[in-house]
């Protein structure tokens, strides 16, 4: 359970609905705002959840005094909204992958360190039994040091 956690979503595409559902179901949480570069999409998404729509990350975080934002934008554009949210005082949770380049990852992590904020990445299969077995096999040296991996998931 959390106490008085104010949150918002950046990026109102298809995965944002999953985040909105989670944020509205957390006891003690206040999901208050969404942000998208497409104003119409932001307004329509906001209306579904009874929250405020924005097109500026900085404005959303500062006006709503957000503790946390989740970033649901396409991964090539994770960097700037993350940095803007962090600079305004929010902690950030990002849909995988963290970013499209090492440079973008470093910039986001540097901003989090500089502003004393937390940044995390969602990897929804990290506790999935097959993933845990594979991780253990790598750690135990059973399959050598991976250089590249490809996964096909069915179902």
Mean of the per-residue pLDDT values of the chain = 92
CB 105 within 8 A of CB 98: yes
Q: How far apart are CA 130 and CA 145, in angstroms?
A: 18
Strand order from edge to edge, sheet including 52-54? 52-54, 29-35, 5-10, 68-71, 91-95, 119-122
**Local confidence band at 134 (pLDDT 50, 70, 90 cut-offs):** confident
- Collapse the DSSP code of 120 into the 3-class scheme (helix H, G, I; strand E, B; otherwise coil) and give the result: strand
Quote the pLDDT of residue 140: 93
Could you read off the pLDDT of 117-127 as tens digits, one per residue? Answer: 999 998 767 77
What is the average pLDDT across 26-37?
Answer: 93
Measured from the Cβ of residue 67, the count of other Cβ atoms closer than 10 Å reads 18
Quote the pLDDT of residue 2: 56
């Amino acid at each position: 359970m959390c106490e008085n956690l104010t949150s918002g979503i950046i990026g109102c595409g298809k995965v944002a609905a999953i985040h909105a559902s989670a944020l509205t179901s957390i006891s003690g949480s206040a999901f208050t705002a969404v942000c998208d570069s497409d104003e119409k999409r932001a307004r329509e998404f906001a209306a579904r959840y009874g929250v405020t729509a924005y097109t500026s990350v900085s404005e959303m975080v500062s006006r709503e005094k957000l503790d946390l934002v989740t970033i649901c934008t396409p991964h090539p554009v994770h960097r700037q909204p993350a940095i803007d949210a962090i600079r305004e005082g929010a902690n950030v949770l990002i849909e995988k992958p963290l970013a499209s380049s090492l440079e973008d990852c470093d910039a986001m992590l540097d901003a989090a360190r500089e502003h004393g904020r937390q940044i995390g990445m969602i990897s929804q299969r990290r506790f999935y039994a097959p993933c845990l077995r594979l991780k253990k096999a790598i750690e135990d040296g059973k399959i050598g040091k991976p250089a590249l991996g490809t996964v096909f998931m069915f179902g």
